[in-house]
Amino acid sequence: MIRLNGVSRYYKNRAGQTPVLRDIQLDVPQGAFVSITGPSGSGKSTLLQVIGLLDHDWQGEYWFDGQALHGMSPKARQGFARDQIGFIFQQYHLLDDLTLAENLELPLNYRNLPSKERRQKVDTMLERFGFAHRRDDYPSQLSGGQQQMLAVARALIAEPKVLLADEPTGALHSEQGRMIMELLKSLNEQGCTIVQVTHHDSFAAYGNPCYRMLDGVLSRA
């Protein structure tokens, strides 16, 4: 489903160019749950940003369901990402001045959907994730684990083909972290393709295959 072939990424600094991703080869089959671990600063988040099309300053080939994303303009990639890719972050990235329902509706605003259909999708998601009775609450009224659950719901509402998770449990205590991992596991069992970056070996074990990033080099763990 996703294939990276020889992807490299450099950051410019005073010394010149520092390689952060080196000749990355990665295959993510449809329905897979891929984990990427590795030490701090090794390039994991950078790789996920490339896969999530949040970063365009890379070289190499990126194939997604047979489409050559490396041949697309950044603007076209942005549209593609909105349709096909869901992203969750360590710090949730919810909008605090919007209600839970309004947060969920955000990704649908880019779609040409009648408002009734948008509302139905939001209601279904609120129900599915157990937030129906809290639709008019604000994210700050939720626990960290619940905020991350809402972020997962928001990432899924536009029915992306793949869910990318960058340290999804990083801001949570272990009980809540496990809850989020169990949620990702059950989503994967329902067919959702997932790529996660994590520091936790026990959480990495939810994935198969597992990769390890070291100094910008990705290899099978």
Q: Is 43 in the site for ligand ATP (CB under 6 A)?
A: yes
| Secondary structure letter of residue 208 according to DSSP | B
- 20 sits near ligand ATP (criterion: CB under 6 A): yes
| Distance of alpha carbon 139 from alpha carbon 57, whole angstroms | 33
Q: Which is nearer to ligand ATP, 43 or 177 (CB)?
A: 43
Contact between 110 and ligand ATP (CB under 6 A)?
no
Q: At closest approach, how far in Å is the CB of 65 from ligand ATP?
A: 25
The whole-angstrom separation of Cα 44 and Cα 167 is: 10
Cis omega (within 30 of 0) for bond into 209: yes
Piece in contact with ligand ATP (CB under 6 A), picked from 38-46, 57-65, 134-142, 175-183 = 38-46
Piece of the chain touching ligand ATP by CB under 6 A; list 41-49, 55-63, 117-125, 202-210? 41-49
Q: Is the peptide bond before 39 cis (omega within 30 degrees of 0)?
A: no
Residue 139 has a CB neighbour count (10 Å cut-off) of: 18
- Gap between the Cα atoms of 185 and 32, Å rounded: 11
Residues 157, 128: contact at Cβ < 8 Å? no
Region from 26-34, 43-51, 77-85, 145-153 binding ligand ATP, contact rule CB under 6 A: 43-51
The correct pick among 4, 44, 107, 172 for binding ligand ATP (CB under 6 A) is: 44
Interacting residues with ligand ATP (CB under 6 A): 11, 20, 38, 40-46
